Amino acid sequence: MFRQGSLASKSFARSFGAQRRLASTKTIREALEEVIPVKQAQLKQLKAEHGQAVLGDVKVEQVLGGMRGLKAMLWDASVLDPLEGIRFHGKSIPECQKTLPAAPGGKEIIAESMLWLLLTGKVPTEAEVRQLSAQLAEKGELPAHIEKLIDSLPKDLHPMTQLGMGVAALNQESVFAAAYEKGIKKTEYWTYALEDSINLIARLPALAARIFRNVYNPGAAIPGINKELDLVGNYVNMLGYGGNHDLTEYLRLYISIHGDHEGGNASAHTAHLVGSTLADPYLAYSAALYALAGPLHGLANQEVLRWQLNMRKELGDNITHEHIKEFLWKTLKSGQVVPGYGHGVLRNPDPRFMALQEFCDTRPELLADPVIQLVKKTYDVAPGVLTEHGKTKNPYPNVDAASGCVLYHYGLTQFKYYTVIFGVSRALGCVTQLVWARALGLPLERPKSLSIDAIEKLIKS
Beta-strand pair 85-88/78-81:
antiparallel
- Same domain for 335 and 428, yes or no, is no
- Same domain for 140 and 253, yes or no, is yes
- Same domain for 141 and 247, yes or no, is yes
What is the per-residue pLDDT for 391? 82
What b/e string do you get for 341-379 counting C-beta neighbours within 10 Å, with b at 16 or more?
A: bbbbbbeebbbbbbbbbebbeebeebeebebbbbbeebb
The total number of structural domains in the chain stands at 2
Summarize the confidence of residues 154-173 as an average pLDDT.
97
- CATH number of the domain encompassing residue 149: 1.10.580.10
Summarize the confidence of residues 438-445 as an average pLDDT.
97
Q: Would you say residue 113 lies in a domain? A: no
DSSP assignment of 352-384 equals HHHHHHHHHHT-HHHHT-HHHHHHHHHHHHHHH
Q: Which of 76, 196, 280, 400 is flagged as catalytic?
A: 400
Domain range for residue 363?
300-409
- Same domain for 232 and 275, yes or no, is yes
- Same domain for 262 and 231, yes or no, is yes
**Is 258 tagged catalytic?**
no
Give strand ranges (E) for 300-384.
Answer: none
| Distance, CA of 105 to CA of 44 (rounded, Å) | 44
Summarize the confidence of residues 412-434 as an average pLDDT.
96
**Is 343 tagged catalytic?**
yes
- Same domain for 149 and 286, yes or no, is yes
Give Cα 8 to chain centroid, integer Å: 28
- Same domain for 425 and 281, yes or no, is yes
Q: Which residue has the higher pLDDT, 98 or 3?
A: 98
- Same domain for 363 and 286, yes or no, is no
Asked if residue 19 has pLDDT above 50, the reply is no
Q: Would you say residue 141 lies in a domain? A: yes
Asked if residue 56 has pLDDT above 60, the reply is yes
| Distance, CA of 269 to CA of 288 (rounded, Å) | 8
145-to-21, 210, 287 alpha-carbon distances in Å: 32, 13, 21
Of 456, 359, 448, 443, the residue nearest 399 (C-alpha)? 359
- CATH number of the domain encompassing residue 360: 1.10.230.10
- Same domain for 328 and 357, yes or no, is yes
Q: CA torsion 159→162→166→169, rounded to 10°?
A: 160
- Same domain for 432 and 401, yes or no, is no
278 φ/ψ angles, rounded to the nearest 5 degrees: 70, 20
Q: Which of 89, 297, 323, 389 is flagged as catalytic?
A: 297
Q: Over the stretch 84-101, which tens digit does the pLDDT of each residue have? A: 999 999 999 999 999 999
Percent residues over pLDDT 90 in the chain: 89
Q: Would you say residue 455 lies in a domain? A: no
Q: Would you say residue 254 lies in a domain? A: yes
Q: Over the stretch 264-297, which tens digit does the pLDDT of each residue have? A: 999 999 999 999 999 999 999 999 999 999 988 9
| Distance, CA of 438 to CA of 428 (rounded, Å) | 16
Residue 453 exposed, middle or buried by CB count within 10 Å (0-12, 13-18, 19+): exposed
- Same domain for 335 and 393, yes or no, is yes
| Distance, CA of 111 to CA of 158 (rounded, Å) | 25
How confident is residue 24, by pLDDT bands cut at 50, 70 and 90?
low
Give Cα 434 to chain centroid, integer Å: 13
Q: Would you say residue 398 lies in a domain? A: yes
Q: Would you say residue 164 lies in a domain? A: yes
Q: Would you say residue 379 lies in a domain? A: yes
Asked if residue 244 has pLDDT above 70, the reply is yes
- Same domain for 281 and 150, yes or no, is yes
Q: Which of 272, 343, 350, 409 is flagged as catalytic?
A: 343
